[in-house]
Amino acid sequence: AAPGAHDAITASPEIATVLDRAGLSKEDMNLGLAVAVERQQGESSAWWPYLRLLTYPRTFPLFYEAAELEALENPPLQESLACMSEAVAAVASKSGLPDAELREALSLVRSRRFGSDVSTCMIPLGDFLNHSFYPSCAWEAPTAQRPESWRL
């Protein structure tokens, strides 16, 4: 999907409200929508060589059922995750994407994306460099000495 292709979904007032309530950025959700669409395309996606490497077990918070949320015994965390779940369900419904596929894609985005004051993106293979509690990989903006590109 082209950049900005999902803006109409995330800019709608009802979606903007649930995203804000859940603490989810429009940029992350737009990227999640794009990743879900590209994953649906499978081998016909230009991103498939990268996307096929990204597996996501459905054991993470965006997949928690009510009983699993209750077992956390942490009301603020339960409320936060419930709000996120509600937001994902609303966006999936509005976009026509399967709920589980959007949850997977958004989970991938939130755990692998790079961000700056200019953009949010996923960098193929760059995301594999930071799987640590103490990431050592940084995203650097162009400088006057190196104006031609971003650097990882």
Interval 29-76: pLDDT, tens: 999 999 999 999 999 999 999 999 887 777 778 888 888 888 888 888
Contacts 24+ apart (CB under 8 A), 72-81: 80/22, 80/23
Map tokens 């966006």 to a residue: 91
90 compared with 128, residue with greater pLDDT:
90
Q: Please report the pLDDT score of residue 122 as a whole number.
A: 84
Q: Please report the pLDDT score of residue 142 as a whole number.
A: 75
